A and B are shown apart, each in its own frame.
Chain A
Amino acid sequence: MKTRKIKVAAFLFVIMSIGFSFTSIDKITVKGSDTMVILAQKWAEVYMSKHPETIIQVTGGGSGIGISALINGSTDIANSSRPMKSTEIEKLKARYNTLGVEIPCAKDGISIYLNKANGVSELSVKQIGDIFAGKITNWKQVGGVDSNIKLYGRESSSGTFVYFKDNVVKSDYAPSCQSLPGTAAIVNAVKKDKFGIGYGGAAYAEGVKDCKVKKDDKSPAFAPTAETIKNKTYPISRYLYMYLKSKPTGATKAYIDWILSPEGQKIITEIGYFPVK
């Protein structure tokens, strides 16, 4: 009797598994990194104009928000300006039994924005870290005028916030660091504040000056340009990622293939980032 029940249950399991596995999606939702939002919107806009049968919905919110949305099933693609954390992979494993699919889709340098009137024009990675950690508080400590440094940064849900904290600040941000809701807001704040300093994607640096960055005290300083980011001489550069729950199929696969094609990668350069291929 029990064997029969087990057989019936196993048969139902196989049939339902096959049936549900071929479910496809036509609408693609993309959520996450604010750094990538302009790029993602441009990709979506160009792709939809060529493939009107596909609807792509793009929203920002920050890398952390995008990855949370991927885990709870409310987005198909999570854009992230940092790699997924092991705790996030564990959550993905628990819910979807996959490790997730990581697609590096562009390269970006994190610019250090300074006001154009600021006399300082180059800093080492350590100096930048100490400034944002609150250990260096006056511009005269780094060769500038005697004035307090005003810090502008991102909110904790931002991938740039996490990347910058892990790779540059290497401790907690100074409590005086003002959290702003987006890279554009940081650029705007630094533009208006003679003694301000901020960080964000290289593509956003309009109306402010890019600080040249030295890997250490003895190294030469480099500005974030296409060449220095590509050849990794600019020390604060990173990949931008797209994350999926599992291997893409159908419309999602076609969209990602197009992003990685020369046509999709060309858009990256137009926006101000750097292609991976």
Chain B
Amino acid sequence: MLRKQLCLRNLTKPLTMKKLLIVLLLATSFLSKAQDVAKSISIDSLKESVDQHSMKFGALDERLSTMESDLSKLTKFKVSGYIQAQFDQYDFKDHIGPGSSTQAAPVTNTFYLRRARIKFSYEALDGVKFVLQPDFAFDKVSLKDAYVVLNDRWTKTYSLFLGQFDRPNYELEYSSGSMETLERTRMASIIYPGEKELGAKLEANFDTNYNFPLKLQLAVLNGNFNLGTTANQTKDIDSNKDVMARAVYSIKLPSKGLGIDLGAHGYFGSTKILAQTTPATVFTDVNNQSFTPNVGDNLKKGWYGAEMQIYYDFLGGMALKGEYISGTISETTNPAQVNSAFNFNKVREFSGYYATFIKNIGEKHQAVFRYDVFDPNTKLTGDAVTSAGDLKISTFSFSWQYYYDENVKIVAGYSLPINETSTTVGGDFLKDKRDNTFTIRIQARF
């Protein structure tokens, strides 16, 4: 019985082992198949996922390139601007002073928005730039700059300006927002009314490519900007073109902290008589002798100027800037071409100059003193002068600038014009006219 049982046990044992082996083989085979399927699924899905992400990155890259291209266009577009708001206190009592006042009730002080300008510039291509600068006032918008500049790409020396731009002169090209004094000189406002002109200007700067610090400018201009009615300023009114030329040479002595810019310029133009009145309007010449010009006559208008700017690094920066201009100016009272700052039927030999001293004090302060003189008639002095417009005016200007931050500066300034006296002219001009002005200005710039 026991033997039978043992035999049976021996028989069943290999049978169970066999079954187990088969089960194990089947299971292994199944598992390995299952693993293969899982592996294949996992690799496929991974590949799919990578492809999907790759496509997403591709799409993102494409979007990024588009955005980058759009942004690079934006970097070519620049906007800057400034607002100058000020309070003026006029020092006069007996006579009509600046502004629209009457003798009976003169305006002695006012808030005033001197300039509110935005400048847009766009560099369309390498070497091509557009500039547009409107000036905003509460009742109008006027155009200060509107020009295209074509820079030569090859020698990087020449630039051609076309449109309305600054006349080539140091004082005029120096931005009103950077100017240390509150206003430009009397001379600049009379001989270059409105600072700008319509025309073409060629500039050559030999410093960029040849390391030779010489700059040459040649401009051909309509010659009637800011003269006469606004409508007459949009185009030339006499077909005569005025020409300006300027050269500036810079000397740099970095070891001494010294820089000197020396320059000269010339204006070659004319004033054409466009109309005559009945009876004929009589003009006076440089010797104050009367003459009657005919329609079509060209009166002389031309001058030469010399300029110098010295920069010296002494306890912080300081600068001395000066300019002297002398020549012949002619103007007419014809409303089509009148110069509101020189409203006479005259031809005059004039001279004028200024010297401006600027001292930077610490990081944020700047003290400024300027003395400027304009003599509109160098041939006559004192009582020989018969009209107020022929009197010489010397002006002392003081200002203190505080740079609050990179955008804001506060300026306090005092201007003391001193006129030549003449008993012949009489009135205000028997002594120095009371016409001083104190100004406090805040300028915000971006």
Cβ B257 vs Cβ A98 within 8 A: yes
Contacts A17-B367, A97-B318, A246-B317: A23 and B362 contacting too (C-beta < 8 A)?
A: yes
Cβ-based interface call for B365 (8 A) = yes
CB distance from B205 to the nearest CB of A (A): 8
Cβ B311 vs Cβ A98 within 8 A: yes
Count, A-B residue pairs, CB within 8 A: 89
Q: Which of A88-96, A120-128, A219-227, A232-240 contacts B (4 or more CB under 8 A)?
A: A88-96
Q: Which of A2-10, A140-148, A259-267 contacts B (4 or more CB under 8 A)?
A: A2-10
A102–B254 CA distance with the chains assembled, in angstroms = 8
Cβ A246 vs Cβ B406 within 8 A: no
Cβ A73 vs Cβ B363 within 8 A: yes
CB contact between A5 and one of B205, B362, B363, B416 (< 8 Å): that residue: B416
Cβ B311 vs Cβ A93 within 8 A: yes
Contacts A23-B362, A156-B75: A96 and B418 contacting too (C-beta < 8 A)?
A: no
Q: Which residues of chain B come closer than 8 Å to A6, judged between CB atoms?
A: 396, 416
Cβ-based interface call for B90 (8 A) = no
Q: Which residues of chain B come closer than 8 Å to A101, judged between CB atoms?
A: 254, 257, 313
Contacts A17-B367, A73-B406, A101-B254: A96 and B360 contacting too (C-beta < 8 A)?
A: yes
A156–B243 CA distance with the chains assembled, in angstroms = 38
Cβ A99 vs Cβ B254 within 8 A: yes
A13–B361 CA distance with the chains assembled, in angstroms = 10
Cβ A2 vs Cβ B257 within 8 A: no
Q: Which residue of B lies closest to A156 (CB)?
A: B75
A97–B318 CA distance with the chains assembled, in angstroms = 5
Q: Which residues of B387-412 are within 8 A (CB) of A?
A: 396, 398, 400, 403, 406
Binary contact readout A1-45 vs B (1 if CB under 8 angstroms, 0 otherwise)? 010011001100100110111010000000000000000000000
A156–B257 CA distance with the chains assembled, in angstroms = 30
A138–B104 CA distance with the chains assembled, in angstroms = 84
Q: Which residue of A lies closest to B175 (CB)?
A: A94
Cβ B317 vs Cβ A96 within 8 A: yes
CB distance from A166 to the nearest CB of B (A): 9
A20–B317 CA distance with the chains assembled, in angstroms = 13
Contacts A5-B416, A72-B406: A98 and B313 contacting too (C-beta < 8 A)?
A: yes
Q: Which residue of B lies closest to A21 (CB)?
A: B315
Cβ-based interface call for B235 (8 A) = no
- Interface secondary structure of B, over-half rule: strand
- What class of interface size applies to chain A in its complex with B? 20 to 34
Cβ B398 vs Cβ A21 within 8 A: no
Q: Which residues of chain B come closer than 8 Å to A21, judged between CB atoms?
A: 315-316, 361-362
Cβ-based interface call for B252 (8 A) = yes
Cβ-based interface call for B126 (8 A) = yes
Q: Which residues of chain B come closer than 8 Å to A51, judged between CB atoms?
A: none
Q: Which residues of chain A come closer than 8 Å to B207, judged between CB atoms?
A: 86
Cβ B403 vs Cβ A73 within 8 A: yes
CB contact between A97 and one of B311, B362, B400, B414 (< 8 Å): that residue: B311
Q: Which residues of chain A come closer than 8 Å to B175, judged between CB atoms?
A: 94
Interface residues of B (CB under 8 A from A): 68-69, 75, 126, 153, 174-175, 178, 205, 207-208, 252, 254, 257, 259, 311-313, 315-319, 358-365, 367, 369, 396, 398, 400, 403, 406, 414, 416, 418, 432
| Top-7 shortest CB links A-B | A97-B317, A20-B361, A72-B406, A98-B317, A97-B319, A21-B315, A20-B362
Interface residues of A (CB under 8 A from B): 2, 5-6, 9-10, 13, 16-17, 19-21, 23, 72-74, 86, 93-99, 101-102, 156, 171-172, 175, 179, 245-247
Enumerate 30 A-B pairs (CB-CB under 8 Å) in ascending A order: A2-B396, A2-B432, A9-B398, A13-B369, A17-B359, A17-B361, A19-B361, A20-B365, A21-B362, A23-B362, A23-B363, A73-B403, A74-B406, A86-B205, A86-B208, A94-B175, A97-B319, A97-B359, A98-B316, A99-B252, A99-B254, A99-B257, A99-B259, A101-B313, A156-B75, A171-B126, A171-B153, A246-B313, A246-B360, A247-B257
Not counting A9-B414, A99-B313, a sample of 19 additional A-B residue pairs whose C-beta atoms are within 8 angstroms of each other reads A2-B432, A17-B367, A20-B365, A23-B362, A93-B259, A94-B175, A94-B178, A97-B359, A97-B360, A98-B257, A98-B312, A98-B313, A99-B257, A101-B254, A171-B153, A172-B126, A175-B69, A246-B317, A247-B257
